[in-house]
A = this chain, B = another copy of it.
């Protein structure tokens, strides 16, 4: 007997549970999912009174804002759409022309299971069944192509009025054919956190538009052209072309890490940088020319030639299956907070850690996986502790009214936002002495440094959590905040929040405390000596 049993029994149980949920999703009627999708959609959201869409936003949320252009009028046929756009928007035409949508026959004629795209043949049959069920295709008929008119009008339509009927497709338009993927993606909304750390369904692609428009500073800021930049990523709730870029809508594209990069990079979610610089990422880059991205994720290792994971491989996976619900292993969300840190022993979090162990153990030993994930958790906790200490210092300054200009020049942020020290809004709005410098440093600390620390840890990028990003940045910002605290309190003659913490430099393991005792005393002696001379 060369295997442990508990872990695998647990895994088996979870797989069964998952399979059941999955079957339910597949069986769900399209119209039901669509109805729920539309009912759940927030439109302009709860702050709708504070903002009006600008023209470009009709493309980020077509469901609520899109109107066909009036410049082009009249009835156009299926063939006219293609013929005209071939010359008007040749880039879009050629992208479509080379897509699977334009070449359904090529898929239908695949007879050889060796072709990586062979799985699409069954997918096509499934889609045709979906269309028959919706009355969009006659039983027994086959779909000829997916042309302009099928997505920008109605599946199977022969003509539309360009200035009246033109549709800018949303999630549910893609979902009418791709029912399973739609159902999987929508199932992200069912997620609930055990202590309400996040609202139901959050954070996920399925509610990212809601998260966007219901952020107070987003709704309140005057610069709508800057605000709409947030929409450019926070539109996955509305559309599918964030990953499957129009007009190729390629699955192979969406399986490559770069497909995630436009949104998952930068100051508060630098997953792209962390992946790329990790060994996972460098193996991807040095070997990818021999990998086959046409292969579905489930066959990535055995048939796709993957020798390292992609973003998709780990985040679509759950108990050995792959789906468009990406949040079933979420634990820290993307923002380490005490509400999560204090509950990591809860079964909800423990179970998901087991799921991650299983994912890593596709390539690593379970012992390696567990050790690494434990280190990632503890490292994140260490960063959170530093940030929380700094937070108290900044909030103390605010409470004591000691921030520069706090009493003379502190405008309030635009409604519906509310003033608060180190608040999220201070990353996007500034006026007079709001925020003060030290508040902004703290906002950077919790929103950037701490998140990068955590992301660097979980993605295995050493420089990403030690010193290029993460820990060393936390140290820097901590130093700035403590420096400022000392100055402001000395100036105010109020040093209540700035005293020496005894042995502050020597916190840590018992071992260290015991061994380090004498050395510490010696060090203090030297320091005192220096101060006197």
Q: What is the bound-complex CA distance between A157 and B86, given in angstroms? A: 50
The yes or no answer to A428 lying at the interface (CB within 8 A) is yes
**Contact flag A479-B436 (CB < 8 Å), given A225-B382, A362-B90:** yes
Q: Would A412 and B262 count as touching, CB distance under 8 A? A: no
Chain B residues with Cβ under 8 A from A278's Cβ?
262
The yes or no answer to A296 lying at the interface (CB within 8 A) is no
Chain B residues with Cβ under 8 A from A19's Cβ?
none
Q: Would B301 and A90 count as touching, CB distance under 8 A? A: yes
Q: Which of A474-531 contact B (CB under 8 A)?
A: 475-476, 478-480, 482-484, 486-487, 490, 495, 498-501, 503-509, 511-512, 515-516, 519-520, 523-524, 526-527, 531
* Closest CB in chain B relative to A142 CB, distance in Å: 27
Q: Would A505 and B414 count as touching, CB distance under 8 A? A: yes
**Contact flag A505-B427 (CB < 8 Å), given A253-B283, A468-B267, A471-B226:** no
Q: Would B50 and A512 count as touching, CB distance under 8 A? A: yes
Q: Would A245 and B279 count as touching, CB distance under 8 A? A: yes
Chain B residues with Cβ under 8 A from A412's Cβ?
505-506, 520, 523-524, 527
Q: Would A222 and B262 count as touching, CB distance under 8 A? A: no
Q: Would B467 and A427 count as touching, CB distance under 8 A? A: yes
Q: What is the bound-complex CA distance between A354 and B466, given in angstroms? A: 37
B228, B378, B434: which contacts A505 (Cβ < 8 A)? B434
What per-residue 1/0 map shows which CB atoms of A423-437 lie under 8 Å from chain B? Answer: 000111111111111
Q: How many copies does the complex hold?
A: 3
Q: Would A375 and B225 count as touching, CB distance under 8 A? A: yes
* Closest CB in chain B relative to A85 CB, distance in Å: 9
Chain B residues with Cβ under 8 A from A351's Cβ?
none
**Contact flag A371-B72 (CB < 8 Å), given A363-B92, A429-B475:** no
Q: What is the bound-complex CA distance between A440 and B220, given in angstroms? A: 31
Q: What is the bound-complex CA distance between A475 and B437, given in angstroms? A: 10
Q: Would B430 and A56 count as touching, CB distance under 8 A? A: no
Chain B residues with Cβ under 8 A from A109's Cβ?
none
The yes or no answer to A405 lying at the interface (CB within 8 A) is yes
The yes or no answer to A106 lying at the interface (CB within 8 A) is no
Q: Would A482 and B416 count as touching, CB distance under 8 A? A: no
**Contact flag A55-B374 (CB < 8 Å), given A230-B462, A379-B229:** yes
Chain B residues with Cβ under 8 A from A436's Cβ?
479, 483
B52, B72, B261: which contacts A3 (Cβ < 8 A)? B72
Q: What is the bound-complex CA distance between A427 and B470, given in angstroms? A: 11
* Closest CB in chain B relative to A469 CB, distance in Å: 8
Chain B residues with Cβ under 8 A from A416's Cβ?
519
Given contacts A252-B286, A267-B467, A386-B430, 8 further A-B contacts (CB under 8 A): A3-B84, A225-B382, A258-B286, A261-B276, A411-B500, A418-B526, A430-B475, A432-B505
A-B contacts, 11 listed (Cβ < 8 Å) = A54-B374, A88-B361, A91-B307, A226-B465, A411-B503, A414-B512, A414-B516, A419-B527, A426-B475, A429-B505, A432-B482
- 5 closest Cβ pairs, A-B complex: A222-B508, A91-B363, A266-B468, A411-B505, A225-B379
